[in-house]
Amino acid sequence: MPSATATGLDLSPATIVTNLGPAALVEEAIRRGEGRLASNGALVCMTGDRTGRSPKDKVLEDTPEIHDKIRWGNVNKPITPEKFDIALAIATEHLRSQETLFGFEGYVGADPDHRLGVKVITEQAWHSLFARTLFIPRGSKAAGGVTDWNHDWTVINAGKHRLTAEEQAQLGVDSPIMIAQSLTRKLVVILGTEYAGEMKKSLFYAMNFDQPEEGVFPMHCSANVAKNDPKNVALFFGLSGTGKTTLSADPERALIGDDEHGWGPNGIFNFEGGCYAKCIKLSKEGEPQIWDAIRFGSVLENVVMDDINHTPDFDDGSITENTRVTYPVDYIPGAMIPSVGGHPKNVIFLTADAYGVLPPVSRLTPEQAQYYFINGYTSKLAGTEAGVTEPQPNFSPCFGGPFLPRRPMEYAAQLADRQREHGAQVWLLNTGWSGGGHGVGQRFSLKYTRAMVTAILDGSLANAEYHDDPVFGLHVPKGVPGVPSEVLMPRDTWADGAAYVAAAKKLAEAFRQNDTQYQIADDVRAAGPRA
């Protein structure tokens, strides 16, 4: 059994049990009262009052080595090295008080040329199972059987300890929660929140900083590939709730990953070893692959379960709309293991437009691709962040603003370079509202959205006839197989034409206001909305 100093930090007298398998972690979680076993075999766990990320409580250590590389502001908020030391001391003191801690050792990144070695220390067994599922265990098939391991990053999860008033005063904060990250020390400290997604997103943030200097474009996207054509790789960009996981789980295609990837010299590769899917309103009919992936070894977060039959109720959002399931990527039949692929043929930007004015599918010119990527428009959906209870219009640069330490234009330039080099076609796919905005219209049918994706990936839309949206200048197909033509142009779906014009102009003006913060080339800025 490893010593208590296995992290490089002194956590004695606690004992760190490292690299337990799923069965042992599930058994330990149940024994400790951290979760219950559902009828489908999944471990059901609760995350307390934080059922989503806490971005307002995330801070970044400001050091001379990284200061000029960071886009400081609302996302990247600085903390001094002295206060980072205080947060680290609070976390380690709490963990020392535990009899047993759980350690995970593995990787972030399926490409052996561009992976980081990670160590995750948790006080809860289910958090260690989460880490084992979401990251790539050393020696696993997903790691190519490699057991060699170089330790790059450490995550210390003391999420059950909420900062006291005295500790908040020492740190200069007014919240019992802090997620502190140091790009210099390669260290993450989590305090006060049991939401497991903080571990995942902190290491994605690390990759977003480290990988560009390695010649890799880090991306907040899912990816899959045609089973009969390894060159037919597709990427799906989008924030939480826009459909990255749902649309990439396709029985006709092999899943590479559902959320975070790198695009390097060899092609694309998954950062993770698992999937982290929203499961509110999940059904076997609508998302059969995800439904079948929920079994022993997977983790359900904040899902209501029947006390008698232990059956999960995926329609019940009384705890949160942000109910989640974590499962290994190889729980999806035919998934690519290791999770790597060639250079993408199609790149799809997903947006959930709460105004109901963007077309459901549009083909983008290279200039439009850069414009819509740097603006990253979608709607912030209920439950994905603390305090968000209904959809809100939201611009997030590169469809991943909360996870970008560097300036967005650096990532946008990488996308443009790779699109030019490899000839990828870029599309904008609206999975939001039709026939009116949120509260008036309806969400686009998943059946129709899947038909649009199929038409993109089989090449039929590349040769379709197009006309231009009058407000946004987007190139909209006149027909898509399996989709009623009347839903393709948003204006045709609104009963009140004047209301449509007002909503479209409002969103167009919001785009124009948002794009002023970026130094965009004239031809790219001209590719934005016309109104």
pLDDT by residue (tens digit) across 458-474?
A: 999 999 999 999 999 99
- Residue-by-residue DSSP string for 3-47: -TTTTSS--TTSEEEES--HHHHHHHHHHTTSEEE-TTSPEEE--
pLDDT at 222: 95
The yes/no answer on whether domain 15-237+240-244+275-331 falls in CATH 3.40.449.10 is yes
pLDDT at residue 383 is higher than 90: no
Q: Pick the catalytic residue from 240, 246, 323, 396.
A: 240
What is the C-alpha separation between 419 and 225, in angstroms, rounded? Answer: 18
Compute CA distances 73 → 211, 297, 402, 442, whole Å: 22, 39, 11, 35
Tokens of 356: 């109901």
Q: Quick one: tokens of 55?
A: 């971005």
User: In 3D, which of 18, 88, 33, 37 has the Cα closest to residue 59?
Assistant: 88
Beta bridge partners of 404: none
Interatomic CA distance for residues 446 and 428, integer angstroms = 16
Catalytic residue check, 244: yes
Task: Spell out the domain ranges in the chain.
Answer: 15-237+240-244+275-331, 345-525
Q: Which class is 345-525 in CATH? A: alpha beta
Q: Is the pLDDT of residue 180 over 90?
A: yes
Residue 1 has pLDDT above 50, yes or no: no
Rounded CA-CA distance 286/289 in Å is 9
pLDDT at 362: 98
Helix/strand/coil for 251: coil
- Averaged confidence pLDDT in the chain: 93
pLDDT confidence of residue 3: 34
Decide if 330 is catalytic: no
Q: Which of 58, 115, 244, 406 is catalytic?
A: 244
Which of these is catalytic: 259, 330, 353, 469?
A: 259
Place of tokens 């992976």: 115
What would the pLDDT profile of 272-315 be if each residue is shown by its tens digit?
999 999 999 999 999 999 999 999 999 999 999 999 999 999 99
CA dihedral 212, 216, 222, 223 (to 10 degrees): 170
Question: Is the pLDDT assigned to residue 390 strictly greater than 70?
Answer: no
Decide if 240 is catalytic: yes
**Residue range 152-164: mean pLDDT, rounded:** 97
What is the reported pLDDT for 386?
62
Q: Which of 127, 200, 324, 475 is catalytic?
A: 324
Candidates 245, 323, 379, 396; catalytic one: 245
- At 6 the pLDDT is 42
> Catalytic residue among 7, 47, 53, 475, which?
53
Active site residue 496: no
Mean pLDDT of 319-327: 96
SS3 assignment, position 64: coil
Percent of the chain residues topping a pLDDT of 90? 89
pLDDT (0 to 100) of residue 53: 94
| Distance (Å, whole) CA 222 – CA 212 | 19
Catalytic residue among 50, 83, 220, 380: 220
CA distance 57 to 191: 10
Q: What is the pLDDT of residues 254-283, one digit of tens each?
A: 999 999 999 999 999 999 999 999 999 999
Q: Quick one: tokens of 500?
A: 């449509």
Task: Establish whether 220 is a catalytic residue.
Answer: yes
pTM, to two decimals: 0.91
**Spatial CB neighbours of 219, under 8 Å, sequence gap ≥ 6:** 235, 237, 260, 261, 262, 263, 400
Active site residue 138: no
